[in-house]
């Protein structure tokens, strides 16, 4: 949108409130969804279980929005989330720190620096 302000240009969402910048520059520069941790990085995730496919789909508030094909029953979606993050980042260990029964989760990526994690996860964003 030529001439649009950055705030109006960057918001692309749907009824669930998912927000993603069209160019991707905003959440690559300002990364509230990934932070440094003594053991690596923490990642704030907004999980959407029961999706048609597993994929990283931008931002929801200040969390990385990840759609999961697994249902939210018996920990299936949590296991799929950890498997996806381990595959995308190459982290040896990915641990769910909080949010086991919630859509908003905090995940620890061991031995992954926030900048390294951001670059690796950005490859899988749609």
Which of 65, 67, 113, 105 minimizes the C-alpha distance to 89?
Answer: 113
**In whole angstroms, what is the distance from residue 61 CA to residue 36 CA?**
19
Provide the residue-wise pLDDT of the chain in tens; the chain has 126 residues.
444 444 433 333 433 333 344 344 444 456 789 999 999 999 999 999 999 999 999 999 999 999 999 999 999 999 999 999 999 999 999 999 999 999 999 999 999 999 999 988 877 664
Give strand pairing partners of 94: 109
Regarding pTM above 0.85, the answer is no
- Tell me if the domain spanning 6-122 has CATH number 3.40.1190.20: no
């Amino acid at each position: 949108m030529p001439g649009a302000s950055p705030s109006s240009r960057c918001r692309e969402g749907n009824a669930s409130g998912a927000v993603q910048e069209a160019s991707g520059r905003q959440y690559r520069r300002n990364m509230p969804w990934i932070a440094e941790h003594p053991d690596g990085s923490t990642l704030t995730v907004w999980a959407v279980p029961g999706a048609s496919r597993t994929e990283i789909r931008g931002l929801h508030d200040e969390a990385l929005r990840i759609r999961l094909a697994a249902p939210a029953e018996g920990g299936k979606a949590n296991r799929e989330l950890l498997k996806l993050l381990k595959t995308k980042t190459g982290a040896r260990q990915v641990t769910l720190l909080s949010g086991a029964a919630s859509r908003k989760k905090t995940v620890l990526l061991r031995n992954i620096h926030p900048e390294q994690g951001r670059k690796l996860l950005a490859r899988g964003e749609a």
